[in-house]
Structure 1
Amino acid sequence: MVFDRIKKVVCEQLGVSEEDVKLETTFEALGADSLDLFQVVIELEEEFDIQLEDAENMKSIQDAVTYVNSKIA
């Protein structure tokens, strides 16, 4: 499932626990700054073998899931 893979990447990159990462969770709530988000995007691109443009529009985990799903569909 895409969400589980994204959650794993987010937890590894941001050093947060899995309980903190839900679909409605924002990256800001996880304490991510722009550099952190950049690292998450790079890892997601590698994890899913995709290119993420407009990644600055990803504000929440749900946004990331929706965006990745649109790229791998």
Structure 2
Amino acid sequence: MVFDKVKGFVVDQLGVDPDQVEMDTNLMKDLEADSLDAVEIILAVEDEYGLDIPDETAEKFETVRDLVEYVEAHKE
């Protein structure tokens, strides 16, 4: 499931408790991710799913759901 993989990337990058990461968790507000953390998470997702997420799209991601839904819509 895409959510589980994305959740794993978030937990690994931010060092947070997995119980803190839900679909509606805001990466910046709830988990205190900074822009570098966000880039690292997006790079991990791109590598995992063979995607190239445009910067202007990536900048709009706020929640775990945003990222999961993007992957589900664009993965092959």
Moved over 6 A (4+): none
Q: CA deviation at 1:72?
A: 0.7
Query: Does 2:30 correspond to 1:27?
Result: no
Query: Does 2:61 correspond to 1:61?
Result: no
Within 2, Cα distance between the matches of 1:61 and 1:39? 14
Which runs of no fewer than 5 residues in structure 2 stay unpaired? none
Equivalent in the alignment of 2:7: 7
Which runs of no fewer than 5 residues in structure 1 stay unpaired? none
Tell me the TM-score normalised to structure 1 length: 0.94
* Secondary structure in 2 matching 1:57: coil
Within 1, Cα distance between the matches of 2:15 and 2:48? 18
Tell me the TM-score normalised to structure 2 length: 0.90
Equivalent in the alignment of 2:38: 37
Q: CA deviation at 1:70?
A: 1.1
RMSD: 0.9
* Secondary structure in 2 matching 1:26: coil
Within 2, Cα distance between the matches of 1:22 and 1:10? 10
Give the share of equivalent positions with the same residue, in percent: 36
